[in-house]
Chains A and B, each alone.
Chain A
Amino acid sequence: MKVFCVGLSHHTANVETRERFVGHAQTERALREEAGCAEALLLATCNRVEVYAAAADAVPTDRITRCLRANEDSLGESENSFYRHEERNCVQHLFRVASGLDSMVIGETEILGQAKKAYAAARESGGAGPLLHRLFQRAFRVAKQVRTRTEITRGAVSVGSVAVDLAEKIFGHFETRKVLLLGAGVASERTARALAKRGVRDIRVSNRSSERAATLAALVGGRAVAIEDWQAHCREVDILISSTAATSPIVTREKLEPLLRDRRDRPLFIIDISVPRDVAPDVHEMEGVFLYDIDSLQSIAQQSIAQRRQQIVAGEEIIAGHVDEVTSWLANACAGAQNPALTLRPSQS
Chain B
Amino acid sequence: MDRDLLIVSNVCFFLAMVRTALALRARNYRPAGFNFCAIALGFVLQTSFLSLRGRSLGRCPITNLFEVFIFLAWSVSLIYLLIGPAYRLSLMGAFTAPLVFGLQTFALLAPIDRAHSLRQSPTAWLEFHACVSLIACGAFALACVAGLMFLVQERQLKRRRINSMFYHFPPLTDLFAAITRLLWLGFILLTLGLAAGFFTGQPLPYVQVAFSLGVWIFYAAILLARHLGKTAPRRIAALCVVAFSAALSLLWGITFLSQTRSM
Contacts and interface: CB of A to CB of B under 8 A. Distances in A.
Contacts of A311: 27-28
Given A166-B157, A287-B234, A290-B157, 9 more contacts: A155-B167, A169-B166, A262-B229, A265-B233, A267-B172, A292-B160, A296-B160, A307-B27, A314-B28
Contacts, number: 72
B162 interface: yes
Nearest to A303: B162
Contacts of B123: none
A151 B27 contact: yes
Q: Which 7 A-B pairs have the closest CB atoms?
A: A172-B171, A287-B232, A265-B229, A296-B160, A172-B174, A264-B232, A170-B172
Contacts of A314: 26, 28
A346 interface: no
B89 to A, nearest CB: 12
Nearest to B235: A287
Nearest to A289: B158
B229 to A, nearest CB: 5
B161 interface: yes
Contacts of B173: 170-172, 267
B158 A171 contact: no
B141 to A, nearest CB: 23
Interface string A263-301: 111010000000000000000100110101000100110
A267 B233 contact: yes
Interface of B: 26-28, 153, 157-158, 160-164, 166-167, 169-174, 176, 226, 229-235
Interface-central residue, B172, B226, B235, by most chain A CB under 10 Å: B172
Nearest to B231: A264
Contacts of B163: 307
A203 to B, nearest CB: 19
Contact of B160 (A155, A168, A300): A300
B234 to A, nearest CB: 7
B171 A151 contact: no
Nearest to A286: B232
Interface in A149-184: 149-151, 154-155, 166, 168-172
Contacts of A290: 157-158
B152 to A, nearest CB: 12
B28 A169 contact: no
Nearest to B172: A170
Interface in A247-268: 262-265, 267
A7 B161 CA distance: 39
A125 interface: no
Nearest to B229: A265
Mostly, the A contact residues are helix
A111 B3 CA distance: 55
Nearest to A310: B27
Nearest to A167: B171
Nearest to B29: A151
Nearest to A171: B173
14 contacts: A151-B28, A155-B162, A169-B153, A170-B171, A171-B173, A172-B171, A262-B229, A263-B229, A264-B229, A264-B233, A265-B229, A267-B233, A310-B27, A311-B27
A169 B169 contact: yes
B43 to A, nearest CB: 28
A264 B230 contact: yes
Contacts of A304: 162
A172 B170 contact: yes
A99 to B, nearest CB: 15
A213 B99 CA distance: 53
Contacts of B167: 151, 154-155, 169
B175 to A, nearest CB: 9
Contacts of B234: 287-288
Contacts of B232: 264-265, 287-288
A287 B167 CA distance: 22
A265 B231 contact: yes
A303 B161 contact: yes
A306 to B, nearest CB: 11
Contact of B158 (A151, A154, A263, A284): A284
A309 to B, nearest CB: 11
Nearest to A155: B167
A263 to B, nearest CB: 7
A307 B168 CA distance: 14
Given A169-B172, A171-B171, A288-B233, A150 B162 contact: no
Interface centre among A149, A288, A296 (most CB of B within 10 A): A288
Contacts of A171: 171-173
Interface in A312-327: 314
